[in-house]
Structure 1
Amino acid sequence: MEWFQANFWVIWLVAAGGLAVSEMLTLDMTLLMLAGGALAGAGVALFFPALLWLQVLVAVVVAVALLGLLRPQILKRLHKGPGYRSTFDQLLGATGKSVGAITAADGEVNVNGETWSARSYDGEAIPGGVEVDVMEVDGLTVLVLPRHKPLSRDQS
């Protein structure tokens, strides 16, 4: 127990490493900012091993500062980068399956393992279990058309 009190910086480093590695699962830059806070806590622990309250305070302040100041800037640059497609952009043209009947007003569709609210693209009802293509995204609702149904032109 005495070793841990004298070398609390090791625990901070392990926490920072675990958070940084976990970031690879989420890719939203939150855990990486928390890892930065833990790294700052490790630095304080090297110089002030007996002041646990100071280590925690510095770790929290640095993590909050990174989350509030650095993370938004990093995400903004990432989203402006070439080839970036948001979740909604990835839905366009995707194929899914209707969970139940889809009408012009409501319904549900399963696309890429996720269930989305859906409406029929052309207003015609789509029965459950039919393969559909996502034609448009309207907020959190996808507009779908049966996969093998040809698009028709208005004869106006």
Structure 2
Amino acid sequence: MTDSRAADAVTALLHAVDTLDWNGVLAVLAGEVRLDYTSLWGGSVESVAASEVVTRWRGLLPGFDTTQHLTGPVLVSPDGAGFRCATTVRAYHHLVDGSNRATWMIAGRYDIGVDAGGRITAITLHASYEDGDRALTEAASARCAAGAGGRVAA
């Protein structure tokens, strides 16, 4: 595998997330993924089956009216048998409720592990700051649970 294929896996993941292409997400994830969102949510690092990653994201992201993950260039370096991909990120999560419009944005850096086959094995978010209302995640999750609102029907 080449450095560019490793960077392409990162880009493909974020495009699939923003378009709710769950098959596309599964196509770039390894069977098990090490997730580290502790800088944002606290808790602990987890190793999660790819299907569970998709289940979790499906329970949140479609509840937003749109999401957009913007990254800087992806810097790729060899890491054992695979690669380490590093990039800055701004992740926008927009929700519309009647005439109320709100956005929650998280800014930081991603460190993403990619194996020799081009599959993502690890995702670590190093959150720098956030802007807007984090509680929008609760509203988006509620929309998903209710089966209505945002892009739930998509």
Q: Would you call these one fold, judging by a TM-score over 0.5?
A: no
TM-score, structure 1 as length reference: 0.27
Q: Which has the higher strand share?
A: 2
Q: Which has the higher contact order (CA 8 A, sep 6+)?
A: 2
TM-score (norm 2): 0.27
